[in-house]
Amino acid sequence: MATLHEISDPADPRLADYRDLRDVELRKHLEAEHGLFLAEGEKVVRRAVEAGFTPRSFLMAPRWLDGLADVLGTTDAPCYVLSEALAEEVTGFHVHRGALASLERRPLPSLEEVLEGARSVLVMEDLVDHTNVGAIFRSGAALGFDAVLLAPRCADPLYRRSIKVGMGAVFSTPWTRLPDWYDALPTLSALGFTTVALTLADDATPVEEAVAGVDKVALVLGSEGHGLSARWEASADRRAIIPMREGIDSLNVAAATAVACYVTARR
């Protein structure tokens, strides 16, 4: 059973994991250096623990203790209990759904482990928006994708906001970082995947045609601003587009991915 600690001082050093959650840059350093990530909200906290991540601590207002009693029962980690006003002082924002947990990151699995048995894979290049990364994990999970691969510079899927938007899909979906950016797509081709890059390139074929009849597919997604790098666009096996009305400057990457996942799942 987690040990409860009532907190009355927002400067309490035991709350270090929960400081300044809105400061993205600070959080990136802090989380990387301490090997931790934060889960927010009762549902997401539960999913993180159920997925086997080891909690470092919990932080919540008293009214969440009952709902999470079963989760708290599985661990000896401290649970810091404080008012919502105090929680806001510590974290720098209004904590929706009242509960937070700090959990230990795990070593990332190898590419081979993640791809074991996978037939439909999402590959993100340099997405910068945590909301998009989370939404894409969620769409992939809902629409039948088996794994997610991230280029070395893609935004962190264990960042609090990614996890929250993804409703914890990052816990249930096997994922890892691609060890090498330059040859990432040829490597996937060599492993038996047809790499299909979503792009607005002139020679792109409608995604439905691009994936028709293909067994193992890796759907490749570029960043929000400039799309895929020239290298990735050129080294993909196929280039695909979602047919759109003329004059519209494309879907956002999360919407495009949802459509492409739906189509690919039905190939």
Both structure tokens of 214 = 């293909």
Site membership for a copy of itself, residue 258 (CB under 8 A) = yes
Does residue number 97 form part of the binding site for a copy of itself (CB under 8 A)?
A: no
Q: Tell me the C-alpha distance between 83 and 62, whole Å.
A: 7
Binders in 194-233 for a copy of itself, by CB under 8 A: none
Backbone angles phi, psi at 12, to 5 degrees: -50, 125
Does residue number 248 form part of the binding site for a copy of itself (CB under 8 A)?
yes
Residue choice 81, 103, 118, 143 for contact with a copy of itself (CB under 8 A) = 143
167 binds a copy of itself (CB under 8 A): yes
Scan residues 20-49 and list those touching a copy of itself (CB under 8 A): none
In the complex with a copy of itself, which residue's Cβ is closer, 31 or 146? 146
- Cβ-Cβ contacts under 8 Å for 48 (sequence gap 6 or more): 39, 55, 101, 103, 163, 168, 171
Q: What's the min distance (Å) between Cβ of 97 and a copy of itself?
A: 11
- 155: CB partners within 8 A, 6+ apart: 127, 128, 129, 130, 132, 133, 162
Site size for a copy of itself (CB under 8 A)? 26
Contact letters (x/-) for a copy of itself, 122-141, by CB under 8 A?
-------------x--xx-x
Q: Distance (Å, rounded) from C-alpha 82 to C-alpha 97?
A: 14
The answer to whether 118 and 174 are in contact (CB under 8 A) is yes
Query: Which residues in this chain contact a copy of itself in the complex, by CB under 8 A?
Result: 135, 138-139, 141-144, 165, 167, 169, 242, 244-245, 248-252, 254-259, 262-263
